[in-house]
A = this chain, B = another copy of it.
Amino acid sequence: MPFDALFVPPDVREATGERAWMQAILDFEVALARAQARAGLIPESLAEAIAGAQVDFDGLMEAGRASGNPAAALAESLPDGAHRGATSQDVMDTAAMLVVRRTLPLLDAELGGVASACARLAAEHRSTPMAARTLLQQALPTTFGLKAAGWLAGVDEARDRLAAVPLEVELGGAAGTLASLGDHGLQVLSLLAEELALDEPVLPWHTRRGRIGQLGAALALAAGAVEKIALDVKLMAQTEVGEVSESSAGGRGGSSTLPHKRNPVGSALAIACAHGVRGAASVLISAVAQEHERAAGAWQAEWDALSRALALTGGAAAALREALDGLEVDADRMRANLELTGGLLLTEAVSTALAESVGRTRAKALVADAARRASDGGRELRDELAADDQIELSAEEIDRALDPVEYLGSAEAFVDRALEAHERRGNG
């Protein structure tokens, strides 16, 4: 497909590409033969012949149109005796699990890179005040560290979800009964799982596709955790906000016609990838109800969607990881933005301070009135408060209430909790 090199890092592209699938198919056949050799069903030498077979991958996909999958075409190039007891779906499903198992560490490395960058930002900016924004309006002070800690927790949760999906070998034969293996079915199943280091299923899952759907969902949610960060970054990088910018090293994010621009290119690519992962995941989730013992259509829809969901999750994570690694944070601008409303942001803090003497309800009303007057008159809230006789706070008390650093609540404690949780989890 076009654009893969634009969106997907090379290693992930390779791990989810056609050769990787073909290799996984071949690995299945070899492992099956070894399992059968260990069970005494075929000679050791046959297993080795299969392992050593030269397979010409070119054209196997087109050849696969006749049977609806490439596994049958490949099986025909193998030495006689190979593929025994297996059906095409055994091959394709197990190959899919191998592709997943080989790609997930690449994704986790990128996601882990994102997590590390978030952890670093959370620690460095544990106490850097900035405006929290709700419905895109400044609400109250928070710290950039707390924002980054939230990102971190989201990415780690997503990684845990990915790691929790069981990856099972598939072996059921044409009907899911392993009939052609006679009494050796369960034994070969068990040995095959061992050979490939995949989980052994309770029974074949030819049309029990919940875990494929779960994998799709976990990928979409991982890409979504990445997208949340990219969304915040691009919003903070707005010209009018200017709190962060992606690195412009190597001309990145520049515009030939508009030299002042610092486009959040990494964030944009990450978001674009996340859209794509959702589309692919929706295919996997909506294909879980498959007919009888093998589906005509829903199953075959999985291969491309799964490859795509994996590849673009990798693309999302890699693009954001690069963006965060080079992220320039402007703490002064964060502070300046906090001042934009002339203290209005801290009316809650003033009310809280005032409540001690006049009660919460009255405090809120008095401060709201002052805030309205300040806002309508374009004056500083501080002055308005000081001028109001009913507000019995000293200038010092008003100053403290209007200092964002004094009104961070548990922000820093939450950062610490998040970093500890990340530490406990480990980043591997």
Contact = CB atoms under 8 A, between A and B. Distances in A.
A423 to B, nearest CB: 12
A225 interface: yes
Interface string A173-184: 111111111100
B210 A258 contact: no
Given A224-B289, A227-B289, A301-B271, A154 B348 contact: no
A132 B224 contact: no
Interface residues of A, number: 179
Contact of A175 (B134, B174, B240): B134
A61 B283 contact: no
A252 interface: yes
A228 interface: yes
Interface stretch (A32-40, A107-115, A390-398, A404-412): A404-412
A25 B250 CA distance: 24
Contacts of A154: 208, 210
Q: How many copies of the chain does the oligomer comprise? A: 4
- Chain A interface, DSSP helix/strand/loop, else mixed: helix
B269 A68 contact: yes
B409 A347 contact: no
A413 interface: yes
A351 to B, nearest CB: 8
Contacts of A185: 409-410, 413
Interface string A294-330: 1111111101110110011000000100000000000
B225 A288 contact: yes
Contacts of A1: 1, 4, 16-18, 304, 307-308, 311
B80 A360 contact: yes
A142 B228 contact: no
Contact of A137 (B16, B20, B263, B311): B263
A269 to B, nearest CB: 6
A252 B137 contact: no
